Amino acid sequence: MADNTEASASAPPTEAVAKLFLDDVTGEKVSKTELKRRQKLYKKEEEKKAKEAAAPPKVAKKSNAEADEKDLNPNVCC
C-alpha cells in the first residue's frame, strides 16, 4: 500500500505544472486566467504610453511675481 501512495503523490505536481503558462514579460508561470488578465493589463499600459507620446508636450507656465506686477494696469477693473 505504501507504494501506491508514493506514486500518486508524485503525479499531481506534474499535472499542476502542465496547466501553467509562461508570462513573457515577467518570466513567471501563471494560470491561464491570470495570463489573460496580465496581457490585458500590458495592452492597456501600451495604449496609454502611445497616447501620451502622441500628445503634444505640455508647456509649463512660469509665474514670476515681478513680471505679473508689471503687467497690472490700475485702470482696468476685474
Grid cell of 24 as nine digits: 513573457
Grid cell of 20 as nine digits: 501553467
Mean pLDDT of 6-27: 72
Q: For 19-78, how does the pLDDT look when each residue is reduced to its tens digit (9 = 90+)?
A: 999 999 999 999 999 999 999 999 999 999 999 988 887 766 666 777 777 777 778 776
Q: For residue 67, which amino acid is it?
A: A
Q: Which helix H or strand E contains 33, and what residues bound it?
A: helix 32-54
Q: What is the pLDDT of residue 15?
A: 62
> In degrees rounded to 5, what are phi and psi of residue 39?
-60, -40
Grid cell of 63 as nine digits: 509665474
Residue 19 vs residues 25, 27, 32, 47: alpha-carbon distances, Å:
19, 16, 8, 30
**Is the pLDDT score of 7 beyond 80?**
no
Q: What is the pLDDT of residue 46?
A: 96
